[in-house]
Amino acid sequence: MLDASPHSPFPYREGNSIRFLVDGEQFYPTMLKSIQQAQKYILMEMYLFESGEITDKFIDMFVAAVQRGVSVQLLIDAYGGLRLSKKDRRKLVDAGVQLVFYNPLMFKKLKKNLFRTHRKYMIIDGLKAFVGGAGVTDSFYGKNAWRETVVEVKGSVVADWQMLFTKNFNHWSDNTVPELMMGSIAIGDVSARLAYTTGGSRLEIKKVLLKKIENSNESIWLASAYFIPSRKTRKALRKAASNGIDVRLLLPGEITDHPAVRYASRRYYARLLRFGVRIFEYQGRFTHTKMVLIDDWLTIGSSNMDRWNFRWNLEANQEIENENIASKARKIMLDDFSHCHEIKYIDWINRSRIQRTKEWLWGKLDIFLTKYI
């Protein structure tokens, strides 16, 4: 649609290393340090980029990088960047940062304004990439920060992330993205692949996930900030659970930034629970994590498990096939499950009429939007 990504899927690349960074207290300092150490270029495609305390730190690092001769190119979604102040925009541009906005909002575009880049990644010198679901916003920073996981990726697959960025950035800017430095060098023994969607015209992430669910052997653990899956996906999850697969959903509890979406998604709970799917709702803060672990296969990135996500958004995930990495991801998710309330079928069917009404109303609205927008 509004993306100039390659037409063929990226293959699995050997020779990578993956490091998990849990929550903003880990991934923000690591990202900022990498910006400080950059020698040639910094590339970032980002949905949420909002003025605030953590954004001030990023802006200062970007400005300092330009001053020492590093090229800094930022592709920010026009809607997700609405809360980036004019002052901060001016500071970036005046310093020499190439600030470009994806799909600027215009009334005459009508429904085309709905196409957004929801991708969230940063590349440093072609040597490493940071991939996850976190934006540059104080929501992931400080006390009661949103729960999120980011991976630091090194190795041959970084070249594919840079190709993805280049195609999309060049669609919106006349500036040239620097040539790849060292991304093709093998670092580690992990097999990894970049998967992406292009807003309705390419649904690779969804198709691969469905196939993985259907071919699972032991477990399917799915974490999503927003859960409005397709009929095929719901059927595949029910079938897997019926066949004895350990199927678990890690979803937000009462603390969420979109309560309406939560109510709409809860209308699916009854049938899933009845077929043996276990549903866990995170407590204490909002879980924004977007990660799926199926046996020894992992996908993590910007993509939620909802229809709107696949219909209108550009998304990008890092897929990983590795027993050791899967083990580390499993430990992270087990810790998340320990902070959850598990919903039992008997309790769910006895929930209040008020809850049922909210689920029905927001479910009807979801159906309407899906059909007519």
**In the chain, pLDDT over 90 holds for what percent of residues?**
80
Is the pLDDT confidence value at 75 over 50? yes
Nearest alpha carbon to residue 291 among 15, 17, 12, 20: 20
Whether residues 207 and 268 fall in one domain: yes
Full DSSP string of 235-283: HHHHHHHHTT-EEEEEEE-S--S-HHHHHHHHTTHHHHHHTT-EEEEE-
pLDDT in tens, 16-71: 999 999 999 999 999 999 999 999 999 999 999 999 999 999 999 999 999 999 99
In the chain, the number of structural domains is 2
Q: Which residues contact 325 (CB under 8 A, 6 or more apart)?
A: 18, 190, 298
How far is the first Cα of the chain from the last one, in angstroms, to the nearest whole number? 15
**Which CATH number does the domain housing residue 256 bear?**
3.30.870.10
Q: State residue 5's pLDDT score.
A: 41
Q: State residue 6's pLDDT score.
A: 44
In a domain, residue 4? The reply is no
pLDDT in tens, 198-231: 866 667 888 899 999 999 999 999 999 999 998 9
Q: What are phi and psi of 67, to 5 degrees?
A: -65, -25
Is the pLDDT confidence value at 9 over 80? no
In a domain, residue 271? The reply is yes
**In the chain, pLDDT over 70 holds for what percent of residues?**
95
Whether residues 355 and 278 fall in one domain: yes
Q: Rounded to the nearest 5 degrees, what angle is found at the Cα of 242, between the Cα atoms of 238 and 244?
A: 125
Q: Rounded to the nearest 5 degrees, what angle is found at the Cα of 154, between the Cα atoms of 148 and 158?
A: 95
Determine whether 207 is exposed, middle or buried from the number of CB atoms within 10 Å of its CB (0-12, 13-18, 19+): middle
Distance separating alpha carbons of residues 205 and 197, to the nearest angstrom: 6
Q: State residue 372's pLDDT score.
A: 62
In a domain, residue 5? The reply is no
Whether residues 177 and 61 fall in one domain: yes
In a domain, residue 9? The reply is no
Whether residues 142 and 261 fall in one domain: no
Return the DSSP state at 330: H
Q: Quick one: tokens of 275?
A: 């077929």
Q: State residue 206's pLDDT score.
A: 87
Q: Which residues contact 74 (CB under 8 A, 6 or more apart)?
A: 44, 46, 49, 62, 92, 97, 98, 99, 100
In a domain, residue 7? The reply is no
Whether residues 34 and 117 fall in one domain: yes
Q: State residue 143's pLDDT score.
A: 83
Distance separating alpha carbons of residues 148 and 326, to the nearest angstrom: 17
156-173 mean pLDDT? 95
Whether residues 180 and 194 fall in one domain: no
126-145 mean pLDDT? 95
- Which of these three, 188, 221, 253, is where a domain ends? 188
Range of the domain at 102: 16-188
Whether residues 200 and 126 fall in one domain: no
Whether residues 209 and 233 fall in one domain: yes
Whether residues 86 and 193 fall in one domain: no
Mean residue pLDDT across the chain:
93
Is the pLDDT confidence value at 3 over 60? no
* Contact by Cβ (8 Å): 163, 3: no
